[in-house]
């Protein structure tokens, strides 16, 4: 029974009808719970149906708590969590189990500390539990492919990130030098100018800070152009990684795995 409960809750077999039904039911309940948590923050809606939100929260937390306890009880059937105590401790500290705990913890903290802090909005953390669905079938394969690509291109992505950070600092310093002497300027320091640099390089452009001098506007145009180019770099790197991974998959290899020498068996990377 313990193994069967673990299989159903984790939808470990694609042909498991019971696991599919449970996964879909939990997905619907999670989405409905998040919607209810968001709507409850509206004072008019909360006052119009206070009983509904209260009972819906109670039912949802009861279901999620029962699910968490069943996962905790049955996790020892998995080879990764063998051991009545150590295995369950490893399970509790796993990322998905921490997400499950975070989704129900605000309710119990609110019961123990009523009126101290409003934790209702933290119920939105239950949306993170949808990541469990990525562990099943084709979504799991797609997620694993993405992880392998990022792992293989981590150096290139890291260099790109460093280049963008350096460009942000240089842009903030340049626009500060160009605008700081203007009366009533918002560019009063390089740290304050960093906000403009960030929103300009990321091409968001809120418009709350804008250079007014000709030199500052020229710098702004150049920074915006650099921002477009910098955003294209990681997209190209990840795209090339995907192409390499798909090409090597047909050969039974992975771009994230180091190549080995056919003579000594050592890594060639």
Q: What is the pLDDT of residues 217-250, one digit of tens each?
A: 999 999 999 888 888 888 888 888 888 888 887 6
Architecture in CATH of 2-134 = Up-down Bundle (1.20)
pLDDT digits (tens, 9 = 90+) for 164-183: 999 999 999 999 999 988 88
Contacts of 131 (CB under 8 A, 6+ apart): 96, 99
Q: Is 120 a residue whose pLDDT tops 70?
A: no
Strands (E), 162-256: none
Tell me the average pLDDT across 82-101.
87
Predicted TM-score (pTM) of the model is 0.60
Cα 85 to Cα 72, 74, 82, 109, 228, distances in angstroms: 11, 12, 9, 25, 52
In tens, the pLDDT along 5-57 reads: 887 887 656 677 877 788 788 888 888 877 887 787 787 887 887 788 888 88
Whole-angstrom distance, CA of residue 129 vs CA of residue 95: 10
Domain assignments of the chain as residue spans, ordered by start: 2-134, 151-249
Strands (E), the chain: none
What class is the 151-249 domain? mainly alpha
């Amino acid at each position: 029974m313990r193994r069967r409960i673990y299989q159903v809750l984790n939808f470990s077999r694609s042909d498991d009808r019971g696991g599919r039904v449970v996964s879909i039911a939990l997905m619907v309940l999670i989405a409905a719970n998040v919607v209810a948590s968001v709507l409850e923050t509206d004072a008019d809606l909360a006052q119009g149906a206070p009983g509904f939100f209260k009972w819906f929260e109670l039912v949802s937390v009861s279901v999620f708590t029962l699910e968490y306890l069943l996962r905790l009880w049955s996790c020892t059937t998995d080879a990764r969590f063998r051991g009545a105590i150590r295995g369950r401790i490893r399970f509790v500290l796993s990322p998905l189990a921490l997400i499950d705990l975070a989704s129900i913890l605000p309710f119990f903290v609110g019961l123990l500390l009523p009126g101290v802090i409003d934790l209702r909005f933290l119920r939105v953390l239950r949306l993170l539990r949808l990541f469990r669905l990525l562990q099943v079938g084709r979504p799991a394969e797609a997620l694993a492919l993405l992880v392998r690509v990022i792992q293989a291109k981590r150096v290139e992505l890291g260099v790109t990130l460093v280049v963008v950070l350096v460009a942000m600092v240089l842009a903030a310093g340049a626009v500060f030098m160009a605008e700081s002497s203007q009366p009533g300027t918002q560019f009063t320091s390089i740290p304050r100018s960093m906000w403009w640099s960030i929103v300009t390089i990321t091409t968001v452009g809120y418009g709350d800070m804008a250079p007014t001098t000709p030199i500052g506007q020229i710098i702004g145009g150049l920074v915006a152009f650099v921002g477009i180019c910098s955003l294209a770099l990681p997209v190209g790197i990840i795209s090339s990684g995907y192409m390499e991974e798909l090409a090597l998959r047909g050969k039974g290899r992975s771009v994230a795995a180091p190549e080995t020498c056919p003579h000594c068996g050592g890594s060639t990377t």
